[in-house]
Homo-oligomer: A and B are copies of this chain.
């Protein structure tokens, strides 16, 4: 790879990393317009969350976040083991997220493994697919809130 191509790839990787961080920051903010700005708004976006079937298409994905935000008082996400790749106008991230959420009736903590796929559209990396699943072993080993 030429030095120029390498610099471009590093720049794209940094942009994908920021887009991934912004996704979780939008989740923490419980602010729907902020979450809307993270995602591509088309019929083929995908969202898989622990214990739920695949959501397909922006309308369903948006509605899910609206419902999650309406039922959540507070959310904190700690990311670790973030790995990312960029290939042309696609970038994908594997990361571990410790998600703590508080509801009117209590709180929940989960450690999930996520695969997030971003596509480059008009200079912005937009989330096209989010697949998160619970890591039972890690969740058990780290069940105490630090």
Contacts and interface: CB of A to CB of B under 8 A. Distances in A.
A6 interface: no
Interface string A122-133: 000000110111
B90 A133 contact: no
Interface residues of A, number: 33
A33 interface: no
B54 A113 contact: yes
A21 B83 CA distance: 26
Contacts of A85: 44, 128
Nearest to A51: B136
A48 interface: yes
Interface of A: 44, 46, 48, 50-54, 56, 81, 83, 85, 87-90, 92, 94, 96, 113, 115, 117, 119, 128-129, 131-138
Given A53-B113, A113-B53, A87 B133 contact: no
A130 B48 CA distance: 14
Contact of A88 (B87, B96, B115): B87
